[in-house]
Chain A
């Protein structure tokens, strides 16, 4: 008798079958091999013991190789006997080891920074999308490379460096928004040491939350995503932080025009326990305070005292403890806040009025990670973490008339998202042709869309209750709890000499308010080596996303709200198809051309007429769900070696939205360009190292303007035939959503650094110029009327665009001392 299976059981069975198919090549390959041994261990920097991500380990006789994972660990199966092992990492001297091995061996390798040895200058690190892999659309940038690029107001920025990559665009002038392959800023999974960071911005997006002093490497995935990543449609930005030096104390302090920062690292117990601590703070509030004090003194403003302020700060702490060569424990914590505040005191003849406003928003996160090499083939990584993003606004007005009790009114606004996450992953090398990863994670999400309260206290703080006192809960959107479970498997397969396959499968489930969503997401990348340095690749990834950001799309504001999928709002889904050619030419560098096509479902846009402030209640009715399509071609030339290094990138792309389902129509069901549809995007980043003292770098970018919606004509509406009077009004005609393309954006940034070695440590003077040729790029563009008087009292008006430019040419100087 056949038993009827539940839909859940059927889904589980499908997952099982797919996993079996995935693992079948592994079994087939395992049948015909001679005796193999496993070499495993970590690859580190010889100077500070920092693990190296993406280092290559190649056994030259058998031509078998491996790459270190995000923890610097590798595992390689080779035939027993004489072994010639070459370990290389871009920017480091290659190490060749000749060994005779008969059994599984743990081998720790340390490489030297080639710059310190006076060798050819090399920057950057190995690219995961190289000719040797099946990965598409991935880029890795070293922190050193980011620091060499010209910096906005002296602050080297991870996200801004990524904006120079093909297929990645920024938002408005100066902002740290990321728009990857036609996706919105909420479609990027931004990971800080493996933990999701919900708001990667400071100062409304002008700076990112990553302190460059704490960063080890940044990997961007925008194409065939590994199965371990999920819950976002467009990209993964995997930022790994430094562990800290196991041998010696190091540090650097930097002073800039608007911020200062400090980084210290060193051993707590030599070769056992280390720490890396960094802190950063802006002092715009101090500068503004001094400015206001001078203005008050000059204008003799005794009756009014305004104290505005803004600052952001962030703290990073990472502790690493090695129990043994096979066991490491990491603790990581991050705390970052932005704070805007104003204090206004006004003194009248009989009254004193005090108005205080404070708006604080930011992220806090912590994690505890245990790495354990079970044996040469199996490496276990288990992490428990917590991440939150919250926004808190407090507004207080106190008024007191002479001889009267003070009256006080308070308003508070709170919103946020809080996640507890447990993840466990097994890196498994069962065979020389397979590198596998099996893992699972559970996330408990708590969404608090908005909580606002008002309080009126007649007697002021501390006074006895008065009958007129009032507590008025204005909005109290209840918390929404959601459970997310993911199971995933990846296998990096080598089929013969010329074929590489990255296969992955991810199962995700999301439960919110008694509603469950289950998805099976296949991911695959296939590479064929046409010539030794010329590879063709194709890839496919199905991605789903269960969280949505309600924002105004242009600036990162503290009112932005993260909300979950619900009964009405289904998870977003994309099919990402990509193909590319990858070529390496010695002495020239790496060339690639990649094309992609990405249809998306259930993407959200605000409905026509909707206002995106105070949307926490009834937000589901304010947004429409529709389809999106993004496609494009990306060209990239990268050079990692020699005195001149950098890259040149060009992207041609389009991003469309189509909302035509009944009840969800936008633009009358007709397709329209996405807000961040930028057709041309060109960028070049060049660094030149003249000698040990002088470094020069320049970046130039050009991109088509953003789209926006503008009325072009006015005309009379039709009189309503059921209205007894003429109700005709003037209609503003809009030919379509996002019908206008704003002027193109281009900018040149320059930087020169002078490095001087001292008896203890070294110092770096850096002079940078942002927007060197003073291009008036738009920050905000708003339609406006220009009025002219034409004879007598007759007045005409004409629509023009009022363009606000935030940053003209901005020179900056900074000083950094490192020891």
Chain B
């Protein structure tokens, strides 16, 4: 026998989501939360509950009220406090201290001479199932210098961009930056993120959240992050391994550009992203209904959401010519 039981009422609250990024500014967005215990219309993204006006917002940096937060030049060590109010909802408040700027060395790529042959989903997608791609195994290295460890957190953003010849059918994809999921042991991999087959796989964009907990770094904070790469050389016949030059020129990119930035992030933002990625992974599992629920971290007093702070390192660039 089944029956419905009503849940106690939980009124909506103000949601504040925002990032304070050093050298850039503070960007806040406000929403009205949906009370699940009240009848509501369902919106997948929550955009319909975005509050574009009517929110009374006050932001202080180092105790001084600022008027133009989006263009305020934040520096490491700045203390940011955000307060907001909307209608009769309880006021919300949050604060953070901008992390110190992390230092990184130069990107290096060590390429091996040996050749490996790989299958790739690209060819079955285009009907080239008789072809393989020949690659040189390689190792990408990014040195970190004297990073703070205990109680400090980081996110590394490593992106690549493929440059195609004009005659390539993929030419329109040139210049599009995509994130890479890294496999170094210090990277916290939550759930089962699959690594991208970079440089030739044109699959849809996959979000990569490469988080690092300072305590996982060696004492002193000097560490070289490593990630295996496969540098494509040519497309070959699957049976004979002979290079198909025409196909190679048409399909493989001419050049790959890499850029990497290490962000020192606030502990609250680290917890938020960890819980968010965990929740995403859990909800993708077909046995989701049997899984333990994942609470999402919030540091907004009186409401919900996240105020995160990030301080970037210098951005590193690296070009890999393929032909």
Contact A613 B290 (CB under 8 A): yes
Contact A743 B5 (CB under 8 A): yes
Say which residue of A728, A800, A804 sits within 8 Å of B1 (CB atoms). A804
Chain B: CB-nearest residue to A723:
B207
* Binary CB contact string for chain B from 214 to 241 against chain A (1 if under 8 A, 0 otherwise): 0100000000000000000000000000
**Residues in chain B near residue A796, CB distance under 8 A:** 39-41
Interface residues of chain A: helix, strand, loop or mixed (majority): loop
Q: Determine the distance from Cα of A348 to Cα of B290 in the docked complex, in whole angstroms.
A: 35
Contact A803 B3 (CB under 8 A): yes
B-contacting residues of A (Cβ < 8 Å)? 552, 606-613, 662, 667-668, 709-737, 740, 743, 776, 781, 784, 786, 788, 790, 794-805, 808
Q: Determine the distance from Cα of A797 to Cα of B40 in the docked complex, in whole angstroms.
A: 5
Say which residue of A662, A711, A713, A722 sits within 8 Å of B157 (CB atoms). A722
Say which residue of A715, A722, A734, A808 sits within 8 Å of B15 (CB atoms). A715
Given the known interface contacts A711-B293, A716-B31, the answer about A801 and B4 at a Cβ–Cβ threshold of 8 Å is: yes
Contact A799 B279 (CB under 8 A): no
Q: Determine the distance from Cα of A794 to Cα of B215 in the docked complex, in whole angstroms.
A: 51
Say which residue of B4, B46, B285, B298 sits within 8 Å of A714 (CB atoms). B46
* Minimum distance in angstroms from A562 CB to a CB of chain B: 20
Contact A721 B292 (CB under 8 A): no
Q: Determine the distance from Cα of A784 to Cα of B6 in the docked complex, in whole angstroms.
A: 10
Contact B41 A718 (CB under 8 A): no
**Residues in chain A near residue B3, CB distance under 8 A:** 776, 802-803, 805
B246 within 8 A of A: no
Contact A797 B1 (CB under 8 A): no
**Residues in chain A near residue B179, CB distance under 8 A:** 722-723
Name, among B44, B191, B281, the residue most crowded by chain A CB atoms within 10 Å (CB to CB): B44
Binds A, one of B102-110, B194-202, B250-258, B302-310: B302-310
**Residues in chain B near residue A740, CB distance under 8 A:** 7
Query: Which residues of B, 277-303, contact A by the 8 Å Cβ criterion?
Result: 278-282, 285, 287-288, 290-298
**Residues in chain B near residue A611, CB distance under 8 A:** 282, 285, 287-288, 290-292
Contact B278 A803 (CB under 8 A): no
Can you pick out 29 interface pairs between chain A and chain B where the beta carbons lie within 8 Å of each other?
A552-B290, A609-B191, A610-B292, A611-B287, A667-B295, A709-B295, A712-B7, A713-B34, A713-B304, A714-B40, A714-B46, A715-B304, A717-B17, A721-B21, A722-B157, A723-B205, A724-B177, A728-B45, A729-B45, A732-B293, A733-B298, A733-B304, A798-B38, A799-B7, A800-B7, A801-B5, A802-B3, A802-B5, A805-B2
* Minimum distance in angstroms from B247 CB to a CB of chain A: 29
Kindly list the 9 A-B residue pairs having the minimum CB-CB distance in the complex, ordered from nearest: A716-B46, A609-B282, A718-B17, A799-B36, A801-B5, A796-B39, A734-B295, A714-B34, A715-B33
Q: Determine the distance from Cα of A184 to Cα of B84 in the docked complex, in whole angstroms.
A: 44
**Residues in chain A near residue B36, CB distance under 8 A:** 711-714, 732, 798-799
Chain A: CB-nearest residue to B37:
A799
Contact A609 B292 (CB under 8 A): yes
Q: Determine the distance from Cα of A733 to Cα of B271 in the docked complex, in whole angstroms.
A: 15
Say which residue of B13, B18, B281 sits within 8 Å of A713 (CB atoms). B13
Q: Determine the distance from Cα of A721 to Cα of B159 in the docked complex, in whole angstroms.
A: 13
B166 within 8 A of A: no
Q: Determine the distance from Cα of A579 to Cα of B278 in the docked complex, in whole angstroms.
A: 44
Q: Determine the distance from Cα of A359 to Cα of B160 in the docked complex, in whole angstroms.
A: 51
Contact A715 B305 (CB under 8 A): yes
B35 within 8 A of A: yes
Contact A803 B2 (CB under 8 A): yes
Name, among A611, A729, A731, A740, the residue most crowded by chain B CB atoms within 10 Å (CB to CB): A731
Q: Determine the distance from Cα of A146 to Cα of B15 in the docked complex, in whole angstroms.
A: 56
Contact A733 B306 (CB under 8 A): no
Contact A803 B19 (CB under 8 A): no
Contact A668 B295 (CB under 8 A): yes
Contact B46 A728 (CB under 8 A): yes
Contact A715 B31 (CB under 8 A): yes
Q: Determine the distance from Cα of A736 to Cα of B275 in the docked complex, in whole angstroms.
A: 13
Contact A668 B297 (CB under 8 A): yes
**Residues in chain B near residue A717, CB distance under 8 A:** 17, 46, 276, 296
Contact A808 B1 (CB under 8 A): yes
Q: Determine the distance from Cα of A611 to Cα of B287 in the docked complex, in whole angstroms.
A: 7
Contact A734 B41 (CB under 8 A): no
**Residues in chain A near residue B7, CB distance under 8 A:** 710, 712, 740, 799-801
Q: Determine the distance from Cα of A708 to Cα of B45 in the docked complex, in whole angstroms.
A: 26
* Minimum distance in angstroms from B215 CB to a CB of chain A: 7
Q: Determine the distance from Cα of A799 to Cα of B39 in the docked complex, in whole angstroms.
A: 8
**Residues in chain A near residue B126, CB distance under 8 A:** none
Say which residue of A711, A721, A794 sits within 8 Å of B41 (CB atoms). A794
B43 within 8 A of A: yes
Q: Determine the distance from Cα of A729 to Cα of B273 in the docked complex, in whole angstroms.
A: 13
B320 within 8 A of A: no
Q: Determine the distance from Cα of A182 to Cα of B4 in the docked complex, in whole angstroms.
A: 29
Given the known interface contacts A608-B278, A713-B304, the answer about A730 and B2 at a Cβ–Cβ threshold of 8 Å is: no
Contact B4 A800 (CB under 8 A): yes
Chain B residues within 8 Å of chain A by Cβ, number:
68
Chain A: CB-nearest residue to B5:
A801
Q: Determine the distance from Cα of A715 to Cα of B49 in the docked complex, in whole angstroms.
A: 8
Interchain pairs with CB closer than 8 A, number:
192
Q: Determine the distance from Cα of A519 to Cα of B6 in the docked complex, in whole angstroms.
A: 49
Known: A712-B36, A800-B5. 14 other contacts (CB 8 A): A612-B290, A713-B35, A715-B15, A715-B31, A715-B305, A718-B29, A719-B17, A720-B207, A722-B179, A728-B45, A730-B46, A735-B295, A796-B41, A802-B3
Contact B33 A713 (CB under 8 A): yes
* Minimum distance in angstroms from A197 CB to a CB of chain B: 27
B50 within 8 A of A: yes
Chain B: CB-nearest residue to A806:
B1
* Minimum distance in angstroms from A336 CB to a CB of chain B: 27
Say which residue of B12, B13, B45 sits within 8 Å of A730 (CB atoms). B45
Chain B: CB-nearest residue to A736:
B295
B10 within 8 A of A: yes
Q: Determine the distance from Cα of A712 to Cα of B38 in the docked complex, in whole angstroms.
A: 10
* Binary CB contact string for chain B from 151 to 190 against chain A (1 if under 8 A, 0 otherwise): 0000001000000000000000000010100000000000
B47 within 8 A of A: yes
Contact B291 A609 (CB under 8 A): yes
Contact A715 B19 (CB under 8 A): no
Contact B291 A737 (CB under 8 A): no
**Residues in chain A near residue B275, CB distance under 8 A:** 608, 668
* Minimum distance in angstroms from A747 CB to a CB of chain B: 15
**Residues in chain A near residue B4, CB distance under 8 A:** 784, 786, 800-803
Q: Determine the distance from Cα of A725 to Cα of B176 in the docked complex, in whole angstroms.
A: 12
Contact A727 B207 (CB under 8 A): yes
Q: Determine the distance from Cα of A737 to Cα of B297 in the docked complex, in whole angstroms.
A: 12
Contact B19 A721 (CB under 8 A): yes
Contact B12 A713 (CB under 8 A): yes
Contact B296 A731 (CB under 8 A): yes
Q: Determine the distance from Cα of A712 to Cα of B3 in the docked complex, in whole angstroms.
A: 20
Say which residue of A607, A790, A795 sits within 8 Å of B292 (CB atoms). A607
Say which residue of A552, A713, A805 sits within 8 Å of B10 (CB atoms). A713
Q: Determine the distance from Cα of A2 to Cα of B37 in the docked complex, in whole angstroms.
A: 73
Contact B19 A728 (CB under 8 A): no
**Residues in chain B near residue A612, CB distance under 8 A:** 290-292
* Minimum distance in angstroms from B80 CB to a CB of chain A: 15
**Residues in chain B near residue A733, CB distance under 8 A:** 33, 295-296, 298, 304
Contact B19 A804 (CB under 8 A): no
Q: Determine the distance from Cα of A710 to Cα of B7 in the docked complex, in whole angstroms.
A: 10
**Residues in chain B near residue A609, CB distance under 8 A:** 191, 278-279, 281-282, 285, 291-292, 294
* Minimum distance in angstroms from B76 CB to a CB of chain A: 17
**Residues in chain A near residue B38, CB distance under 8 A:** 798
Q: Determine the distance from Cα of A800 to Cα of B4 in the docked complex, in whole angstroms.
A: 6
Chain A: CB-nearest residue to B3:
A803
Contact B40 A798 (CB under 8 A): yes
Q: Determine the distance from Cα of A610 to Cα of B40 in the docked complex, in whole angstroms.
A: 30
**Residues in chain B near residue A667, CB distance under 8 A:** 295
Query: Which residues of B, 112-169, contact A by the 8 Å Cβ criterion?
Result: 157
Chain B: CB-nearest residue to A608:
B294
Given the known interface contacts A711-B36, A798-B37, A801-B5, the answer about A716 and B207 at a Cβ–Cβ threshold of 8 Å is: no
